[in-house]
Chains A and B, each alone.
Chain A
Amino acid sequence: MKPKNLTLRIYLVAAVMLASGISGCKKILEEHPRSQITPQFFSTSGGILGGIAGVYSDMRNLWGTEGFTNMCVGGVDEDLVGGSGNPNFFTYKIVNGDIQPLWNIAYQDINTLNGVLEFGEKADIDDATKTQYLAQAKFLRAFYYFYLVQTYGDVPLHLDFITTASTADSRQPIKDVYAQIIKDLTEASADLPAKPAAPFLGKAATQPVAFYLLAKAYLTRGWSSAAESDDFKTAYTIASQIIQDKDNYGLGLWPDFASVNIKANDYGQETLFVIDHSSDTKYGEYTTGQFAAGPKENKTNFFFRPNYPTMNGNYPATGGGSIMTRDINNGRPFIRVRPNGPYLLHQAFADRVNDSRYDNTFQTIWIANTPGASTPRGSLSVGVDTAIWMPDSATAAQAALRVPAFKGAIVPPGPTGSWTPAFYPSLKKYDDSTRASLNDASTRPFVMFRFSDVYLLAAEAYFKAGDNGNAAAMLNVLRQRAAYKATNTPQENADAVIAQTILPSDVTLDFILDEYTRENYGNCQRWWDLVRTQSLIRRVQMYNPEAAANIQPFHVLRPIPQTQIDLVTSGPAFPQNPGY
């Protein structure tokens, strides 16, 4: 081979290699994501709104879920564990495993909100929109810190968008946390609109919601070790102002307590703040026909239900076959939470004649829905006969047995007022009979605050400030409303109003706490109400036979999640709350 020819060939090869290489060389190493969203997106208008919507959506992971509901209503005076419930929160035996979601979700959302606030200041959008968006973000940040500080005590306080990973963190005193909550809510309440406005429709944060939370923050701080002198006064001042401006805010009480918790009024005048749900698979994050498999669904309609489909005809003896089947109206029984009968019957709802709230809170009657079902007293015709009745006293049960027409099973409370772990009156405020399928979750919003809460808050603040007169006045508004029954004659209603009216001397802390139960039984607030008022240990020991033996003074704070402690791997160790 001739050298010249050889050289030529080598050049040729080199040229081919270079040509095929250079073409794609640089470009192929560039990254252009198309199906993912990076944090830079927060610097756009859509990103800021999306960040706020994302946080609201994330709240669905807490309110309405089983674990968080246990945390709200487990281990208080109102409730006992249902026959299929997880006893951990209810009995204070072990509380470690279940407290993680609130912590994790709150901080993930807080960081997102910090991003929204940081990028939002610089974003290229009109001022009115910007003000509205940032006020939402401040409200939500304060909202989460408020739950964190009440639940865990000293907590990390992050106010800047974290962009660099760190495995160190520390807890800040509650004083600083409350100061920040009050600052954020003060600013938010100045900028939020009086009534819901697009794009934050429904019952998202508005000015009165921010005021309510601000008043509650003052009230809570007033009870705490970080109290400042005027906290209770500030609290009732703000609360009274909300009541005074109620027309401006489009708020008001329904005249009949029976209207309060029905689906049609979910977005009505008495609703302050909700976490929205819908049957939309995308925006409602809702599943159908899959046993309510979605993690962000409102399943409160399951938890408080007794095991009615297993009620047997011969009850209380065995045998006889089941006389009810599950249906949409009566709901899917999870049997997680049951009412603490003695406390409710003998204390909170002791007056079930003048006060309509017991009847409007509990389902005590199940109408037959199963063809061929029968009891020793006869066969039950579907849609006509009462299959199960849970009277509020053994005397009433005895009376019913003497009525020949009554053929259903009767489940009276036991001698002390308690029902069984499987059979008990069912909380009906979360019912949703418009679901497509029996196993589907509720499509109703989770109502977090109601306008009536403002009166309760004001009453507590006046009471703590030593003004029992105004405290009684606030409570009387709710009590007199509760006197009304549509089935009563006007005279009977008028008499009930008088019976329901209390005097300033009647107002005690326990009376207020009982009033919270009457108004709000089953709301996701009870544990914090008892902790705030420093009544948790006392009242659990007084009323809750399952938890009394185990509860300890340190239980007023939840433990820091073990994963948080495990993952703080640099700097000082992350301290656990005492006692855990």
Chain B
Amino acid sequence: MRVPFKENFQKLHIRFALLKKFLPVGSLVIATLVYTLPGYAQNIIHVKGRIVNESGQPVSGASIVVKGSGTGVTSQENGSFEIDAAPKEILLVSYVGMITQELKVSASPLSVTLVSQESGLNQVVVVGYGSQKKSDITGSVVTVSSKALQETPTANIINSLKGRAAGVDIVSNSTAPGSSGQIRIRGNRSLVQEIAGNPTATAANNDALNAPLLVVDGIPYGGSVNDLNPDDISGIDILKDASATAIYGSRGSNGVLIITTNRGKSGKAVMSYNGYFGLTNALDEYKGFNGPEYAAFKDEAKAGNSVNPGTSNYGLSADETANLANGVSTDWQKLIYRQGYTTSHGLNLSGGNESTLFSLSGGYFREVGIIPGQDFTRYSLRTTIDHKISRRLKIGLNTMNSLAYTNSGGNPVGGLLRMSPLTLPYNADGSLNLLPLTGLLDAATVNPLTIIKSAGSIVNNNRRLRTFNSLYGEWEIIDGLKYRMNLGLDYRQDQSGSYLGPNTFYNNSTSLAQASESVGNAEAWTYIIENLLTYDKTFKEKHHITFTGLYSVQKDHNQASGIYGTGIPADYIQNYNLSLANTVSANTATTNPWAFSERGLISYMARLNYAYDNRYLLTATVRRDGSSVLSPGNQYFTYPAFAVGWNILNEKFMNNAGLFSALKLRGGWGLTSSQSINPYATLGLLGTNAYNFGPGTAGQNAGYLVQTLANKALKWQSTAQTNIGLDFGILQNRITGSIDVYTQRTNDILLPESLPASNGAGSTIVNAGKTKGHGVEVGISSINVRTPGGFTWSTDLNFSISREEIVALQDPTLKFDLGNGWFVGQPLSVIYDVKKTGIWQTADSAQAASFGQKPGQIRLEDISGPGNDGKPDGKITADDRQIIGNFQPQWEGGLTNRFAYKGFDLSIVMFARMGMKVVVPYLMSDGGAQGYDFFNNGRVNSLKRDYWTPTNPSNKFPRPDAASDGTNYSSTLGYVDGSFIKIRNIILGYNLPSQWLNKAGISSLRIYFSAQNPFILYSPFVKDGYGPDPEGNGYGGVSTSTVGGTPVPGRAITVNLTAPSTRQFNFGVNLKF
């Protein structure tokens, strides 16, 4: 800030009067400010006090100055100070990185809590290949501090980021222990459904194409975020706009998450311990019919049989009839779900002297899921060293190692919901009723309780070892000119295994010859070599130039293998010795783990930052990337970006604008891309299978089929983005924030184009299609209340609106591509199907009959005749399909409120996603592999719902029909409003007074209780009883539409029957020595 602090402060005072006049809304905030007029000395008071930071640790070296005089002292190591002042004088307490406070002189001891100036302009922000002061940044960057991340202790940082930054959208895609979410910065850009070369990994690929780049300590980070111990992270900087991300060129278009880890600090070695323990319980069950309701449903299915009315293959068994009479209604889910727990312990030691800094940390994390057999355990160990060899030469190493064990068990939820509530889990003698469905079609189903009783027969585990190392050497060649070499070495290895013994819920065969077992191994490594040259110089005091040049080479390698066996001599052998299996093979009919892929990237980058007089800022970047995955001749692409910034506050004419403590306008344009295709995608692909000519081994042959056509002309897709933003700070940064507006266009999108089947191959990859997006993002932090008594209330609010849209498809004249589910002018994923308008009622039976339907069946909107002529033709056909909705929220936001008083702190984190659809596959059934098998025919139990009967004219769900598993048009039942507002976390902490701790040699101790996902404030999905949580937990499973075609693309997140979301109560400790 150009204006000397004292001077500015007085001007601020004058401004207040004006502000009150003009901004009545703001006056509420202002009224709460602690503010008094300077006074004159009368008699002198000897003031004593102690300064601590937000977490209650003493602040040493803080400056305490009597305002308007030159007198001042600094605080001691334990934070205490003593100063003489007149009664009406004001004390200014300041410390680097903290917000300055004013205090009335008082005779009683003062307790001062300094709050960090996190959002202040002097904050240093990591921007990729360097860092800048926040005031110098021209791009759109959000910083999330470690403190904010720690407010939501979870297995990984992605989960902690939920609702914390505007424009960063995180959606759950699994509920298994240790799972992370799907993260999108400013929406989707790539139109991908499936990628050649890896047709099985649809959703994962889609995620890889739209997920942001992760960079840990400067090195791009691939693979699972679960390998990172959140305790080791000191902050995350999220680069959102192209002017900021263009330096990552071919990987920058989806945004960049720059993760910085803790490093040693000079001074006395500090040891800290962070730990918590929490209990988890299911938010709720998927509610099925109870016993009598189930029987009634079966009866109705019989009555409603559309082929042979009054008949059913799915009547009650003799046992069920008896149990119904005895009032049996077994809740199978309740019998299986257990209380889970999460525990985390981290120990950190850091310190150093002028030449060497170090930090050591060890972590242990364990999450035990609510489904028996599901848990996640991680051990992590980390060391950093930074050493100055000479005045000009520095080297450093960060080595992060983790070992993670994931036990996935199985997913019994769908099976549990299907179980008949009219059956008994135990026999009369207390033993397990092994085959509770005896006498029914599903008689072979084994009791779900075998998941617990026969846990040794169910193995599904993964052991992952990762070592992520970054090594650097930095040489200051002359003052201002530095050469730095970064070496990134990353190795990850996964060993997986499974065993499913007979007589269990997951494998109901009765013989050990039918046991199945497998072992798998996958390894991946990445190396990256970066050469960086930076030059930093200020000319004639006002011209500040920073130049960065880069040349880097990166190579990624992936390799996997696996063996499957059938039959084993004894359960206890599990998958430890596949040589004992009856048969062994290298893949199954559906899984082939054998994979190999490599990709290489060569990059050149140059960036110039120029600042004039701290007022005008310019950033210009150019990057050129060459990638192995594209066709020779099209491998290189150049990415330019420009951005300007204007620190308005530093203009002379703003000298009187005391209201603002920061004000900066910035704008930028840039071009980026994403690594959108898999290696070898340009080469075409033969699918493999196998065949035996005749029964003997002599006729066994490997087989091949043309699956994907080659494309020799593939080139990069690119995204151009324009961003305009305003950063501001008001009232000494009591209120800070930023507003960003952006638009982006993506061209030459790499996408697998589905081909008409008659052309021989399902798809090929083309550069086609254009998408655009725009949005507004607002982030505001404010200190609402701060009283001299030490009470503070602060708020972080973020809000964003993001819109994505397809502009053009593979052929510019094309308005839609039904096979791929793309529509020009619509978001990237939509639901395209016939539209349910209700259920046919008895009174309308004549009209229903004209559509070939009966009362009780699904009523649909007839909008068009043949050729999409737009005229209803009295038939429901493919021409009646329309866009039912999409998955893009109308808005989303997060709100964090923090309260602190004396040693107590309380924070409440909320987030909301509003106005999008969610797809629920277990409400639909196509009689094939998708949806919920036997949804409406009464064979098995299903979600309790309001179905039509002659006496219950519901418009929600059709009449049960024993004749048909594939209920016609049932796909239309599963499109539901997915909006929600949730309390993400409530945390209450207490810093024990230091006088209690000092004797024990403890410098600070905070204990806290937290409640994660305590409740959902608003969700029509939950209210209507569709499930415990509207957030997605997987992909796919959606029925095909009865009129033909797939109504929902496989890339869309869906709500499936997996472990219900949980509520967690934690107790934790933060301890520092």
Contacts and interface: CB of A to CB of B under 8 A. Distances in A.
Most chain B CB inside 10 Å of its own CB: which residue of A27, A108, A169, A284: A108
Contact of B690 (A9, A163, A285): A285
Contacts of B702: 46, 50, 53
A30 B313 contact: no
Contacts of A13: 475, 477, 483, 533
A162 interface: yes
Contacts of A574: 756
A110 B757 CA distance: 11
A110 B1027 CA distance: 46
Contact of B689 (A10, A54, A202): A54
Nearest to B479: A1
B628 A67 contact: no
B441 to A, nearest CB: 6
B686 A86 contact: no
Given A162-B759, A289-B514, A321-B439, A49 B701 contact: yes
A87 B963 contact: yes
Most chain A CB inside 10 Å of its own CB: which residue of B439, B509, B695, B753: B695
Contact of A158 (B306, B586, B760): B760
Given A34-B596, A111-B706, A281 B963 contact: no
Interface string B498-535: 00101000011111011110000000000001010100
A288 B1041 CA distance: 31
Contacts of B576: none
A20 B966 contact: no
B922 interface: no
A554 to B, nearest CB: 13
Interface string B731-764: 0000000000000000000000111111111101
B760 to A, nearest CB: 3
A199 B755 contact: no
B757 A107 contact: yes
A21 B550 CA distance: 11
Contacts of B628: 28-31
A86 B760 contact: no
A477 to B, nearest CB: 28
Contacts of A503: none
A564 interface: yes
Given A29-B602, A55-B703, A320 B589 contact: no
A128 interface: no
A439 interface: yes
A28 B602 contact: yes
B926 interface: yes
B964 A86 contact: yes
Contact of B695 (A37, A156, A202): A202
A115 B318 contact: no
Contact of B588 (A36, A202, A287, A322): A287
Interface in B813-836: 814, 817-819
Contacts of A81: 307, 963
Contact of A163 (B710, B878, B963): B710
A25 interface: yes
Interface string B549-592: 00101010000000010110000000000000001011111100
Contacts, number: 404
B266 interface: no
A276 B757 contact: no
A437 interface: yes
Contacts of B709: 162-165
Nearest to B927: A86
Interface in A278-296: 278, 280-290, 293-296
B689 A58 contact: yes
Nearest to B594: A35
A371 interface: no
A107 B761 CA distance: 8
A204 interface: yes
Contacts of A200: 693, 699
Nearest to B636: A29
Contacts of B964: 86-87
B438 A325 contact: yes
A169 B757 CA distance: 10
B197 interface: yes
A202 B927 CA distance: 34
Contacts of A438: 444, 509
A563 B757 contact: yes
A51 interface: yes
Contact of A567 (B313, B321, B485, B754): B754
A296 B589 contact: yes
Nearest to A90: B307
Most chain A CB inside 10 Å of its own CB: which residue of B594, B684, B690, B753: B690
A29 B600 contact: yes
A278 B698 CA distance: 13
A83 B318 CA distance: 20
A354 to B, nearest CB: 34
A91 interface: yes
A440 B504 CA distance: 17
Given A56-B703, A165-B764, A310 B693 contact: no
Given A29-B628, A267-B694, A83 B583 contact: no
B1010 interface: no
B318 A321 contact: yes
Contacts of B695: 202, 266-267, 276, 278, 445
B680 A31 contact: yes
Interface stretch (A92-100, A391-399, A484-492): A92-100
Interface string A74-89: 0000000101101110
Given A28-B600, A158-B758, A165-B753, A57 B513 contact: no
B754 to A, nearest CB: 6
B313 A21 contact: no
Contacts of B598: 31-32
Nearest to A66: B928
A155 B758 contact: yes
A439 B602 contact: no
Contact of A201 (B601, B699, B877): B699
B838 interface: no
A131 B290 CA distance: 67
Interface string B955-966: 000000011111
A103 interface: yes
Interface string A164-177: 11110100000000
Interface string A1-38: 10000100110010011001100110111111111111
Given A108-B705, A283-B692, A566-B819, A309 B441 contact: yes
B939 A84 contact: yes
A368 interface: no
A514 interface: no
A105 B736 CA distance: 61
B589 A37 contact: no
Contact of B760 (A41, A53, A110): A110
A177 B965 CA distance: 38
Nearest to B963: A87
Most chain B CB inside 10 Å of its own CB: which residue of A167, A307, A321, A574: A167
B319 to A, nearest CB: 8
Contacts of A162: 709, 759-761
Interface string B677-721: 001101111111111111110111111111101110000000000
B595 interface: yes
B928 A307 contact: no
A36 B197 contact: yes
Contacts of B675: none
A162 B707 CA distance: 11
Q: Which 3 A-B pairs have the closest CB atoms?
A: A111-B760, A202-B694, A562-B1044
5 contacts: A54-B686, A86-B964, A87-B307, A96-B1044, A282-B587
Given A55-B703, A204-B694, 16 more contacts: A13-B483, A29-B600, A29-B628, A29-B632, A39-B684, A53-B691, A83-B313, A83-B962, A86-B966, A87-B963, A163-B709, A165-B709, A282-B586, A288-B513, A326-B443, A439-B509
